[in-house]
């Protein structure tokens, strides 16, 4: 259990300090956020780190750290909620805070402190119960020792330990024994009270403790970090990805420019002045050598050839496809087309760094605190014990804030200037220098028998590889398994199948985007299944019911269909489409109902969603994630696309990247389908992928026209001004 | 860069700042006065994250110069209620509206203005009045929370 920090394991920072001294650190400094935290220091209170995740104050304040990056999905609440279950504390008294980078916080499954792929809850559920139980047992043991009784004479509830060996009973609060408890050995096999009593907190729609700070302006995002002596800086990225700085012109009056090798940081009296200075400074660039594939039309042509023929890496091969196709009574073939997408987080990229000869501190809205640590080590040459990464709240992450570019820039600028630097990207830089969700074409060929059964299924996927640019060691023989996510192991009855992948090597930076490979592949598969159903003359729901082999998939499918009134006639001018998939450990089905708005446009009226993610921690947060995921998927399906002309992105701000706003918001109904005993599944990504195919399928039901290219552009772009 | 010394009324307090008079109000609030609850999203009045109340009306502060704000009453999210108990804030917690929360300062101020002029808005009136961008997609809860306040 290396995730339960013992004093010997705890690396540095306030945890070690508190453990070494048995308390004595101020609450304000225990909240690793920003300068503002120091202003809430309560003087007479000492805190003790009972383990790496639990800090208890002598005033009975309880802070539970979350190792997950909080970007809206509620992990700053839901991970502590699991721990609090076994800690036996009153949830309304719990404060939560992001954990700094540290070995104690590495995900026990992924061995990383990065948040992505809906991994936190899935990996941490059982360890957090144990960590909470271990902390509780240490507190109880400390109390029992002070009373001179055995622990079996103690009961515990709401952060109070009661000695039942004496009459009348006497009690001690957690705060009273925390300092002593912090010195005890950490139990390695603590008893889980919830195993016998059932869950007290888990599964309840408890209020998120981060939300009050988000309604009064006190929440600290990366962009809000203010460090004494810091300078404001902005970034000028190379117009063409992969370029290096040839020369930097004179810095505008009163500013300093720093050549970062691949970009230039420019200071200013405030962020706005820094933006102006970064725009106006003249920089000469050396573009990358060779012929570049970075114009959309040429990329499209290349994708067309990649899906038509040529070598491809096999992702899944079952049975004899050629024989199956030869025996088919009917063959249907479809090509689907997906664009590059921007992340468009509400909070632009930013980071604050303070590098000295002997130390480095970084504050960043990051999905990868461990990756930031490695970046800082590589850039500064300092060892890990001299570096502290303070993850802040994220104003959206969506996969973009897992990247290291913006953090590296702040570190390098601080090194060069010899002072703390708060570096912010303008919105134009943020859109124009994204690592985009990959473009993709998929050609699906399906052979059917006379009854509409699938004899052969062939899906050729052509797309750039995110793994190739980020983790090339995971690409084996040209196969990017992330690009195939959601495209293999389908739960439909199929005899022979072949899913293969042809890598596109283009010069447009690509990265992970909320719901990763499934964001593209579920559109392809659930559109294709709908087309196959139509070719077989079957109702889309009935066909899926007949062909799905997985009872959990069927359960969410039926739940969403029933909620949407599938089988009843929609209102005049309305139609419904359905999609279902399994991903991130969860089953999700969605029915989208649309209405004809004008001769050429539609309105999305309602989305009925059913999710089975196994054990639910906070049902209200789960519902929020489905609501938000649906909006994310809907914006992308309707309007999302970035095109490139000689490497220049078509999108630079929200005025030409339409996203759903209040008037476009459909009514969303979410049902939670529970499979007793099922392992916990993910939620953050899970709501996104099914929207696009369900919408395109609804459009087919409405008009008889099949749309295979995203974005669908079926409604006017939302107005963005007032 | 020439600077001017200007006097502002922010959250009921007189504040004196010495800045480039062309600086947008947003950045004076955030970087000069430390009121970081008001957020930067786009800089072109396209997202609403920077919304503040100017003489009670919701305005985007990213494209309003600090000079234009002189002599007017500026209310930021920090000044909406001294105890964070404005009905919109209470409803936002009750309905657990925010996700990442980045856009919510602007959203809350825009809603507070709507409810002042129209205490019982219909869905159509909400759609027409509230155009703040929320990439997390909290719109349904924003709507529910408005109806909760209105007692609809």
Per CATH, which fold does A222-288+349-424 belong to? Aldehyde Oxidoreductase; domain 4 (3.30.365)
Q: Are residues B63 and B32 in the same domain?
A: yes
Write the DSSP symbol of residue A168: S
Predicted ipTM? 0.98
Q: What angle do CA B14, B18, B19 make, to 5 degrees?
A: 120
pLDDT tens by residue, A300-323: 999 999 999 999 999 999 999 999
Residues in chain B with CB shorter than 8 Å from the CB of A220 are 36
| A455: its two tokens | 């004899």
Please report, rounded to a whole number, the percentage of residues in chain A having pLDDT higher than 70: 94
Q: From CA A281, how far away is CA A275, in angstroms rounded? A: 10
Beta strands in A434-584 (DSSP E): 440-448, 454-463, 494-503, 574-583
Q: Are residues B66 and B99 in the same domain?
A: no
Q: Do B46 and A275 touch (CB under 8 A)?
A: no
Distance from CA of B30 to the nearest CA of A (A): 8
Q: From CA A309, how far away is CA A307, in angstroms rounded? A: 6
For an interface test with B, give the residue of A39, A342, A662, A721 to mutate (most B CBs within 10 A): A662
Residues in chain B with CB shorter than 8 Å from the CB of A348 are 40-41
From B78, B95, B127, give the residue that closes a domain.
B78
- Specify the DSSP element, H or E, that contains A550: none
* Crossing angle of helices A619-639 and A691-703, rounded to 10°: 60
Which numeric CATH code is attached to A296-340+436-703? Answer: 3.30.365.10
From B31, B56, B78, give the residue that closes a domain.
B78
Q: For position B131, which CATH number holds?
A: 1.10.150.120
Distance from CA of B17 to the nearest CA of A (A): 13
Considering only the top CATH level, what class is A14-201?
alpha beta
Query: Long-range CB contacts (< 8 A, 24+ apart) of A141-149?
Result: A141/A181, A141/A184, A142/A177, A142/A178, A142/A180, A142/A181, A142/A184, A143/A172, A143/A176, A143/A177, A145/A180, A146/A172, A146/A177, A146/A180
Q: Are residues B91 and B63 in the same domain?
A: no
| A559: its two tokens | 């739940």
Residues in chain A with CB shorter than 8 Å from the CB of B139 are 631, 660-662, 665
Q: What is the pLDDT, as a whole number, of residue B152?
A: 75
Q: From CA A480, how far away is CA A521, in angstroms rounded? A: 13
Q: Are residues B33 and B65 in the same domain?
A: yes
Q: Do A627 and B133 touch (CB under 8 A)?
A: no
From B78, B111, B142, give the residue that closes a domain.
B78
pLDDT tens by residue, B46-91: 999 999 999 999 999 999 999 999 999 999 999 999 999 999 999 9
Write the DSSP symbol of residue A484: T
Q: Report the residue from A270, A653, A662 with minimal CB separation from B46.
A: A653
Q: From CA B106, how far away is CA B135, in angstroms rounded? A: 13
Residues in chain A with CB shorter than 8 Å from the CB of B44 are 427, 653-655
Query: Long-range CB contacts (< 8 A, 24+ apart) of A599-603?
Result: A601/A714, A601/A715, A601/A716, A602/A699, A602/A702, A602/A714, A602/A715, A603/A664, A603/A715
Where in the sequence is the domain holding B99, given as residue range(s)?
Answer: 87-150
Q: From CA A234, how far away is CA A424, in angstroms rounded? A: 5
Q: Do B81 and A347 touch (CB under 8 A)?
A: no
pLDDT tens by residue, A390-414: 999 999 999 999 999 999 999 999 9
Closest residue by Cα to residue B131 from B77, B51, B53: B51
Residue A612 near residue A619 (C-beta atoms within 8 A): no
For an interface test with A, give the residue of B29, B41, B51, B136 to mutate (most A CBs within 10 A): B136
DSSP, collapsed to helix, strand or coil, labels residue A21 as helix
Q: Do A217 and B42 touch (CB under 8 A)?
A: no
Distance from CA of A217 to the nearest CA of B (A): 4
Q: From CA B52, how far away is CA B60, in angstroms rounded? A: 6
Nearest CA in chain A to B124: A663
Q: How many CA atoms lie within 13 A of A385 on its CB side?
A: 5
For residue A459, report the phi and psi dihedrals to the nearest 5 degrees.
-125, 110
Q: Are residues B104 and B46 in the same domain?
A: no
Residue range A509-523: average pLDDT?
A: 97
Residue A566 near residue A576 (C-beta atoms within 8 A): yes
DSSP, collapsed to helix, strand or coil, labels residue B141 as helix
Residues near B42 by beta carbon (within 8 Å), at least 6 away in sequence:
A427, A653, A654, A655, B49, B62
Is the pLDDT assigned to residue A568 strictly greater than 50?
yes
Domains of chain B: total: 2
Is the pLDDT assigned to residue A14 strictly greater than 60?
no
pLDDT tens by residue, B4-55: 999 999 999 999 999 999 999 999 999 999 999 999 999 999 999 999 999 9
Please report, rounded to a whole number, the percentage of residues in chain B having pLDDT higher than 90: 98
Residue A210 near residue A249 (C-beta atoms within 8 A): no
């Amino acid at each position: 259990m290396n995730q339960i920090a013992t004093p010997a394991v705890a690396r540095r920072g306030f945890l070690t300090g508190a453990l070494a001294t048995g308390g004595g650190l101020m609450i304000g400094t225990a909240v690793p956020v920003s300068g503002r935290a120091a202003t809430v220091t309560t003087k007479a209170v000492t805190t003790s780190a009972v383990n790496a995740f639990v800090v208890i104050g002598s005033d009975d304040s309880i802070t539970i750290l979350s190792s997950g990056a909080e970007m809206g999905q509620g992990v700053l609440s839901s991970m502590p909620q699991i721990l609090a279950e076994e800690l036996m504390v009153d949830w309304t008294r719990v404060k939560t805070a992001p954990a700094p980078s540290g070995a104690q916080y590495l995900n026990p499954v992924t061995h990383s402190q990065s948040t992505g792929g809906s991994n936190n809850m899935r990996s941490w559920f059982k360890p957090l119960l144990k960590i909470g139980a271990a902390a509780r047992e240490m507190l109880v043991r400390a109390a029992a020792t002070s009373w001179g009784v055995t622990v079996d004479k103690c009961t515990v509830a709401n952060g109070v330990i009661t000695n039942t060996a004496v009459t009348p009973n006497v009690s001690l609060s957690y705060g009273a024994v925390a300092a002593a408890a912090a010195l005890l050995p950490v139990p390695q096999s603590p008893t889980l009270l919830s195993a016998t009593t059932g869950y007290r907190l888990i599964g309840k729609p408890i209020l998120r403790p981060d939300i009050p700070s988000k309604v009064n302006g006190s929440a600290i995002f990366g962009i809000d970090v203010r460090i004494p002596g810091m300078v404001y800086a902005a970034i000028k990225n190379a117009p063409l990805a992969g370029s290096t700085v040839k020369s930097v012109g004179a810095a505008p009056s009163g500013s300093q420019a720093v050549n970062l090798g691949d970009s230039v940081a420019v200071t200013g009296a405030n962020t706005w002045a820094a933006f102006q200075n970064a725009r106006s400074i003249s920089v000469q660039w050396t573009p990358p050598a060779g012929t570049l594939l970075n114009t959309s039309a040429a990329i499209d042509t290349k994708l067309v050839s990649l899906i038509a023929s040529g070598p491809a890496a096999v992702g899944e091969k079952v049975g004899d496809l050629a024989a199956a196709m030869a025996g088919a009574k009917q063959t249907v073939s479809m090509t689907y087309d997906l664009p590059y997408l921007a992340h468009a987080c509400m909070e632009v990229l930013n980071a604050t760094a303070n590098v000295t000869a002997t130390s480095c501190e970084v504050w960043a809205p990051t999905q990868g605190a461990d990756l930031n640590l490695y970046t800082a080590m590589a850039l500064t040459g300092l060892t890990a014990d001299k570096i502290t990464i303070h993850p802040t709240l994220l104003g959206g992450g969506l996969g973009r804030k897992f990247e290291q570019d913006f953090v590296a820039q702040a570190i390098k600028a601080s090194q060069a200037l010899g002072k703390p630097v708060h570096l912010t990207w303008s919105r134009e830089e943020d859109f124009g220098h994204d690592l985009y969700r990959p473009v993709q074409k998929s050609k699906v060929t399906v052979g059917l028998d006379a009854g509409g059964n699938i004899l052969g299924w062939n899906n050729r996927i052509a797309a750039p590889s995110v793994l190739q640019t980020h983790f090339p060691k995971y690409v084996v023989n040209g196969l990017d398994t992330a690009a195939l996510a959601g495209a293999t192991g389908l739960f439909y009855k199929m005899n022979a199948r072949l899913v293969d992948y042809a890598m596109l090597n283009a010069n447009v930076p690509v990265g992970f985007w909320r719901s990763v490979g499934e964001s593209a592949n579920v559109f392809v598969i659930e559109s294709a299944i709908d087309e196959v159903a139509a070719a077989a003359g079957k109702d889309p729901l009935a066909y899926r019911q007949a062909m799905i082999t997985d009872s959990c998939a069927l359960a969410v499918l039926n739940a969403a269909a029933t909620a949407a009134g599938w089988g009843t006639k929609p209102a005049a001018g309305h139609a419904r489409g359905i999609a279902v998939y399994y991903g991130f450990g969860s089953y999700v089905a969605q029915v989208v109902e649309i209405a004809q708005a004008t001769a050429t446009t539609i309105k999305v009226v309602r989305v009925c969603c059913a999710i089975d993610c196994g054990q639910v921690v906070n049902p209200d947060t789960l519902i929020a994630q489905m609501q938000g995921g649906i909006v994310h998927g809907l914006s992308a399906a309707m309007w999302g696309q970035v095109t490139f002309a000689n490497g220049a992105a078509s999108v630079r701000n929200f005025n030409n990247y339409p996203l759903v706003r209040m008037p476009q918001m459909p009514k969303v109904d979410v049902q939670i389908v529970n499979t007793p005993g099922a392992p916990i599944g993910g939620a953050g990504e899970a709501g996104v992928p099914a929207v696009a195919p369900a919408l395109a399928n609804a459009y087919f039901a409405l008009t008889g026209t099949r749309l295979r290219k995203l974005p669908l552009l079926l409604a006017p772009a939302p107005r963005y001004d007032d | 860069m020439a600077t001017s010394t200007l006097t502002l009324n922010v959250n009921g307090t007189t504040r004196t700042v010495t800045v480039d008079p062309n600086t947008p109000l947003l950045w004076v609030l955030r970087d000069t006065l430390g009121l970081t609850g008001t957020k930067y999203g786009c800089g072109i009045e396209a997202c609403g994250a920077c919304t503040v109340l100017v003489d009670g009306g919701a305005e985007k502060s990213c494209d309003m110069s600090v000079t234009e704000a002189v002599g007017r009453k500026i209310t930021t999210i920090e000044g909406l209620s001294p105890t964070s108990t404005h009905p919109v804030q209470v409803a936002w917690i009750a309905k657990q509206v925010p996700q990442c929360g980045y856009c919510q300062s602007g959203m809350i101020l825009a809603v507070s203005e709507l409810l002042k002029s129209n205490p019982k808005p219909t869905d159509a009136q909400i759609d027409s009045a509230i155009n703040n961008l929320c990439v997390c997609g909290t719109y349904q809860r924003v709507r529910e929370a408005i109806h909760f306040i209105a007692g609809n």
